[in-house]
Amino acid sequence: MAKLQKSIDKRNALVKATIELVNNNGFHATPMSKIAKMANVSPATIYLYFENKQDLVNQTYIEVKAKYTNYAFKDFDTTLPIEAGFEHIWKRIADFKLKDSEHAMFLAQCDNTPMIDEESRKEGIKHLQPLLDLWERGKKEGIIKPISDYLLYAYSINPLSFLMITQKRGAFKLDKTHLEEAYQSAWSSIKVCK
């Protein structure tokens, strides 16, 4: 138990260090030695927990992605009406992206780079189902536009990544008002408009 405990702590420290360094320097400039130093561990120790650097990054990605989707769909009530259900999920995702920007930033970087194995990427996408189901239902009820899920995602969810990155760069700050405006834009873009 003590042994396991200790191990998990080190593993977590390594994952945390990876996220932090990749966020600040990019994958191309985060050597194993720095990861080890930041996690207070010898470089050799990393290899007790991970096969190699790629494995470390893949596992980190999968872990962060899971944290993201868990947060997004926590307490989601599938019986909610479409708009309320969407608003709930949207606001939780917004919350995650803007408050936990360390993790969100890491995901954004992974999602736009050939840094992650295709396999791990697929692993990470799996958990979006509840949102897809909601959209499916919304299309049937004539509330959501009958268009590809990729389009719905691109317009209603993905903009949050851009806003998060922009905010992180200090170009502007997303406050409560902006957030409500953003939500309205997201909803306008996918709802059926008369």
Nearer to DNA (CB atom), residue 47 or residue 76? 47
191 bridge partner residues? 144
Q: Reduce the DSSP state of residue 17 to 3 states and report it.
A: helix
Name residues contacting DNA, limited to 30-69 (CB under 7 A).
30-33, 40-48, 52-54
Where do contacts with a second copy occur on this chain (CB under 8 A)?
24-29, 108-109, 111-115, 145, 147-148, 150-151, 153-155, 158-160, 162-163, 165-166, 171-172, 178, 181-182, 184-186, 188-190, 193
Count, residues in the chain: 194
CB of 152 to DNA, least distance (A): 38
Contact between 29 and DNA per CB under 7 A: yes
23 and 110 in contact (C-beta within 8 Å)?
no
In whole angstroms, how close is the CB of 139 to a second copy at the nearest point?
13
- Pick 102 or 181: Cβ nearer a second copy: 181
Among a second copy, DNA, none, residue 40 binds (CB under 5-8 Å by kind): DNA
d(CA 166, CA 156) in angstroms, rounded, equals 17
Q: Applying CB under 7 A, what is the total number of residues that bind DNA?
A: 23
2 binds, among a second copy, DNA, none (CB under 5 to 8 A by kind): DNA
Q: How many CA atoms lie within 13 A of 146 on its CB side?
A: 3
Beta-bridge partners for 144: 191
Query: What token pair was written down for 10?
Result: 């080190």
From residue 61, alpha-carbon distances to 38, 106, 120, 124 in Å are: 18, 8, 8, 8
Contact pattern from residue 106 through residue 125 relative to DNA, giving x for each residue in contact according to CB under 7 A and a dash for the rest: --------------------
